[in-house]
Structure 1
């Protein structure tokens, strides 16, 4: 799986009004799992569906969306967090 930080920026541009976004890539049951953590002032099922569709369109792979309150994600400049551990 290869996702570029610019793709995350593109997702952000397609959904204005959101806070920070961070893509977390993990290894679960011998498969890559991608979760886009999103600071959203007003999360909703419609926004979740729209963002899930945008992830697939922009990144060409599926992923899920997890909402966080505004200010909850670290302001450390990291856009993609690869936490995979192959055991």
Structure 2
């Protein structure tokens, strides 16, 4: 048998994990679609940005979304500092 592609392995993982997730969310009466998207979106965006060497414009093009949409989603997921957040700025600078 030939080697499976990454897409095929991903589909198998999703197919195998969905029944338990559907049952779990159904027992809570929660919104299934939102729950699944929340679990998939963060790693998807992280990996897209990583594959593009941190270049958000390239990552947005890879994902097929606008760069501003990518930045907003990254910020909402805590993967991008908010405006005015300078927590990482000047980290290499000596204290004043």
Same fold (TM over 0.5): no
TM-score by length of 2: 0.27
Q: Which has the larger radius of gyration?
A: 2
Q: As a proportion of its length, which structure holds more strand? A: 1
